[in-house]
Amino acid sequence: MKKSYIPEPASSSLAFFTRISLLILISLIIHGCIRSGYDPVRSLDKYNIVWTSPSANTWGTMPAGNGDISLNVWVEESGDLLFYIGKTDSWDDNCRLLKLGRVRVHLNPNPLLQSKALIQTLRLSQATIEIQAGEAEGKVVMRVWADANYPVVHVAIDGKRPVEATASIELWRTEQYELPSIEVSDVHFDHDVPGNQHFPTVVEPDTVLSSLSGLSGLEDRIGWYHHNIKSVGPALCAKLQNMEGFEQPDPILHRTFGAVITTSGKAANRLDDLNLRSPSSKS
């Protein structure tokens, strides 16, 4: 008896024609975009966020960053520019992701004391926050952004008249203290123990780079850092899993993170350990 022949599906041919079709479709889309002058990056500009008044507190901050460094930026009623700095690897010894610190920038003359005109714009295509303060000859433009290629935060200030900027470090971890409450994600948290935590969560203070420390190169810059001095996470986790005998190094022990503030161009004037004044200049 003759066996009937049923041809197999031409899957390879189908896949080939599918790829060709997709390539043609993509080519048509790209060709259409080029012909129409469409710029996918510039198209973000229509979604820019614009504010016309200062912020009362941290609830009125604009975000910026580069995927590693994060910023929360706002302008106070006083006219000062403030921003928090965050980083993806700034884990303290309690396994909590910390903000590095806060920076305040004060301008002299202060454009918002002469005029209340303020336009703060989050420019999405540039990943930049632009702040226009004041009017006419007293107008000042400030731009804040995180560098795309380096762990650097830039603050550029331009004005028709000479303007002097003073950057100040504002820290809150100035002494050792115990957290009054902890989050569910904290390493000491446990629903099944009294107080919901195995041990008190003690936050260690930051260290300011002091001119009395003997460090060189601090004449025209200021800075601070946080240094992890204890290990709590791995030992606790090993105990909870009955693996005390299997010791592993703590990857965040002795981790150090912080920031240094300096200026480009002319050397800045270090007023003290927490304040740095840039030379008066204009654009």
Per-residue pLDDT of the chain (283 residues; tens, 9 = 90+): 444 444 444 444 444 444 555 555 555 555 555 556 778 888 899 999 999 999 998 899 999 999 999 999 999 999 999 999 999 999 999 889 999 999 999 999 999 887 889 999 999 999 999 999 999 888 999 999 999 999 999 999 999 899 999 999 999 999 999 988 777 667 767 777 777 776 788 999 999 999 777 777 788 899 999 999 998 877 777 777 788 777 778 889 999 999 999 998 778 899 999 999 997 766 5
Backbone angles phi, psi at 270, to 5 degrees: -80, 105
* For the chain, domain boundaries: 43-276
pTM as predicted: 0.81
- State whether residue 106 is helix, strand or coil: strand
Q: What pLDDT was estimated at residue 13?
A: 43
Give, in degrees to the nearest 5, the angle at Cα 221 between 134 and 213: 145
Amino acid at 17: F
- State whether residue 42 is helix, strand or coil: helix
DSSP code of residue 63: E
Q: What pLDDT was estimated at residue 201?
A: 85
- Using left for φ > 0, alpha for ψ between -120 and 50, and beta otherwise, residue 50 falls in beta
d(Cα 148, Cα 128) in Å, to the nearest integer? Answer: 11
Backbone angles phi, psi at 96, to 5 degrees: -115, 135
* CATH architecture assignment, domain 43-276: Distorted Sandwich (2.70)
